[in-house]
Every structure is written in structure tokens, then in C-alpha cells.
């Protein structure tokens, strides 16, 4: 068998810069105008491995993101653009957990951008993101809210595959949230973990040994006044032995909640139970399968 020239030169694999990477994009614009004033699709564009599906059901329409590539590999770029016109209502979720595979150098990117018109409401409820050892991911979540618009967003991250007791010996997780209301910055948060992420999370001041984390933000009208309700709900969901730490705070018109747990399974269940009680609605059907 003839040895490829690049192997003979000692490289042993494709040049990283020359690989074909996935680029998935979806753009969705919705607005009122359906039967009884219900929300309808005004524009839908898809490219690469990203697709949106809309299962039939009652209440606000659900947009379910599907990644037909089966995960995110080194150097992949994915983008979601949502535009909710005034008075529209939408639930956004994903068909399954998103897996971010190990990288031999390049960073993957996820850019999520949302615009919500006056009186519009978005429940941003993707399933968890699972980082493999040596994964490198930068993610951005940028939201522009009109006065009177509402956003309820949650993101869950698993640091390693719990079933394999995987640790992240090396990796990158950079997550930036920016929420503006009426053009003015209302909420900003950046998480940056780089290097031996599992060792960093073991530190009491960072993660206290957590293997998974969840962030919930309610930037809807009246959210700041629901702080005591949120804390009481969290306390009522506490189950001995799960090892989950949770806390909520409220300021500047919004409510923020963080949960940390040793593994993603119990944490995901706690998030789902909290959201069901807090929203007064069941979770999207893809969460229940």
C-alpha cells in the first residue's frame, strides 16, 4: 500500500486548517396574525445541518432546533437568529442534548441572537449542552427587548459525560450573555473556564465540585417581584442526596437563578420541575421523551 505524502512527511492526518467544518444557520421571524391572533411564521431560512421543526400542540408554538450533524466538532460554527414581532409568543427548544466533541485546536462557536418586539414573549428552553474532554466552545447569547417584552431563558451545561465519569482535563468554555431593553444594557454575564476545567470547578469559589451548571434568567415584566416565589419554589423542590445547590437573586427588573450539581441528570430534572412550577406550563414535549 502506498503511503500518502502527508503521512510520509510525518503529519499523520489532515491539516487542521484544511478541514471542512459544519456551518449551521437558522433564521426565524414570527408575528401575530394567525387564527385568534395566534403567532405564525413570517420568515424561515435554514442552511447547513441546522433545521427547525414545529410540532403541533396547544398554547404558544414550539420551534425545535435539530442539528442533523449529530453534534459540534472543532471549528464548527452554528447560529440562530430569532425575530419576534410585537405581541408574538414563542417557545424555542432543541430536539436533544447538544454534544461538543473534543478539539485538537480550533474553537467551535455558537451565536444566538434574539429580537423581541413590544409585548412579545420568548421561552428559550434548549436541552443541555454536553462538553467532552478537550472541547473548545465559545457561545454568545444576545437579546434585544422592546419595552414590555418578556424573555425567560435557561441554559444547562454538563462538564464531561457523566455516564463515563469523564473529567475535562483540558478545554475551553466561554459563554457571554448580553440582554438589552430599549437599547440599554440590562443584563451582562460572561463565564470563562479554560484549562483543566474539572479541576477549576472543584474549587469552592468556582464550582464546589460541580459537574453540571444551569443558569436561568427571567427578564419579563414583573420578574423582579417574583424573587420570593422563586426561592420558595426552589426550597420545595429540594431532594436530599441530589447534592444540588441553587440560589436566586433579582435586580434591575429581572430575576436570575443558578444551579450547580454533581451530574447533569438530577440537575436537568430539577430545572424542569422548577420551570414547570414557575411558568405554570408543562415543559416542551421533547424534554419529556
pLDDT by residue (tens digit) across 170-223? 999 999 999 999 999 999 999 999 999 999 999 999 999 999 999 999 999 999
**Integer Cα distance of 276 and 279 in angstroms:** 6
Q: Compute the average pLDDT of residues 109-135.
A: 98
Q: How would you classify the pairing of strands 254-261 and 108-116? A: unpaired
CB 261: neighbour CB atoms within 10 A? 25
Map grid coordinates 385568534 to a residue. 36
pLDDT digits (tens, 9 = 90+) for 19-34: 678 899 999 999 998 6
pLDDT of residue 163: 84
Flag the least confident range among 8-17, 144-153, 159-168.
8-17
Give whole-number Cα distances, 239 to 235, 248, 267, in Å. Answer: 9, 17, 11
Q: Residue 8: is its pLDDT beyond 70?
A: no
Instruction: Calculate helix-pair angle for 227-237, 264-279, nearest 10 degrees.
Output: 130
**Integer Cα distance of 173 and 193 in angstroms:** 5
Phi, psi of 267 (to 5 degrees): -65, -45
Q: Total structural domains in the chain?
A: 1
In a domain, 274, yes or no: yes
**Integer Cα distance of 194 and 137 in angstroms:** 10
Q: Compute the average pLDDT of residues 129-153.
A: 97
In a domain, 2, yes or no: no
Query: Where residue 14 falls among pLDDT bands split at 50, 70, 90?
Result: very low
**Integer Cα distance of 284 and 93 in angstroms:** 7
In a domain, 18, yes or no: no
**Integer Cα distance of 32 and 40 in angstroms:** 6
pLDDT digits (tens, 9 = 90+) for 58-110: 888 999 999 999 999 989 999 999 999 999 999 999 999 999 999 999 999 99
pLDDT of residue 18: 56
In a domain, 243, yes or no: yes
CB 54: neighbour CB atoms within 10 A? 12
pLDDT of residue 17: 53
> Contact 55/66 with Cβ under 8 angstroms?
no
In a domain, 113, yes or no: yes
For residue 226, give the DSSP letter. G
Q: Residue 250: is its pLDDT beyond 60?
A: yes
Boundaries of domain holding 124: 28-288
Neighbour order of strands in the sheet with 171-181: 39-47, 23-32, 77-84, 108-116, 136-145, 171-181, 184-195
Q: Residue 2: is its pLDDT beyond 60?
A: no
- β partners of residue 79: 25, 111
pLDDT of residue 54: 95
In a domain, 70, yes or no: yes
**Integer Cα distance of 40 and 89 in angstroms:** 9
In a domain, 20, yes or no: no
For the chain, percent helix, then strand, then coil, each to nearest 5? 20, 45, 35
- Cβ-based neighbours of 50, under 8 Å, separated by 6 or more: 24, 25, 26, 65, 66, 67, 68, 78, 80
Q: What average pLDDT does the chain have?
A: 92
pLDDT of residue 5: 42
**Integer Cα distance of 64 and 95 in angstroms:** 6
- Residues 243, 272, 84, 129, Cα dihedral to 10°: 50
In a domain, 54, yes or no: yes
Amino acid at each position: 500500500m502506498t503511503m500518502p505524502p502527508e503521512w510520509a512527511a510525518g503529519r499523520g492526518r489532515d491539516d487542521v486548517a484544511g478541514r471542512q467544518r459544519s456551518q449551521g444557520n437558522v433564521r426565524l421571524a414570527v408575528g401575530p396574525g394567525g387564527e385568534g391572533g395566534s403567532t405564525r411564521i413570517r420568515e424561515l431560512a435554514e442552511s447547513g445541518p441546522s433545521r427547525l421543526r414545529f410540532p403541533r400542540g396547544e398554547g404558544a408554538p414550539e420551534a425545535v432546533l435539530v442539528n442533523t450533524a449529530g453534534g459540534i466538532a472543532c471549528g464548527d460554527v452554528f447560529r440562530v437568529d430569532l425575530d419576534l414581532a410585537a405581541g408574538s409568543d414563542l417557545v424555542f427548544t432543541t430536539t436533544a442534548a447538544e454534544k461538543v466533541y473534543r478539539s485538537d485546536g480550533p474553537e467551535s462557536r455558537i451565536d444566538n441572537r434574539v429580537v423581541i418586539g413590544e409585548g412579545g414573549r420568548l421561552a428559550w428552553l434548549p436541552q443541555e449542552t454536553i462538553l467532552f474532554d478537550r472541547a473548545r466552545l465559545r457561545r454568545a447569547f444576545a437579546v434585544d427587548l422592546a419595552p414590555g417584552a418578556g424573555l425567560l431563558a435557561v441554559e444547562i451545561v454538563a462538564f464531561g459525560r457523566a455516564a463515563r465519569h469523564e473529567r475535562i482535563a483540558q478545554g475551553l468554555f466561554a459563554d457571554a450573555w448580553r440582554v438589552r431593553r430599549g437599547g440599554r444594557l440590562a443584563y451582562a454575564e460572561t463565564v470563562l473556564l479554560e484549562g483543566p476545567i474539572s479541576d477549576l470547578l472543584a474549587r469552592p469559589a468556582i464550582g464546589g465540585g460541580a459537574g453540571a451548571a444551569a443558569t436561568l434568567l427571567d427578564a419579563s415584566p414583573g420578574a423582579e417581584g417574583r424573587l420570593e416565589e422563586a426561592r420558595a419554589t426552589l426550597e420545595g423542590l429540594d431532594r436530599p442526596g441530589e447534592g444540588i445547590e441553587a440560589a436566586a437573586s433579582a435586580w434591575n427588573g429581572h430575576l436570575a437563578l443558578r444551579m450547580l450539581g454533581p451530574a447533569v441528570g438530577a440537575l436537568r430534572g430539577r430545572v424542569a420541575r422548577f420551570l414547570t412550577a414557575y411558568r405554570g406550563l408543562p415543559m416542551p414535549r421533547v424534554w419529556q421523551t
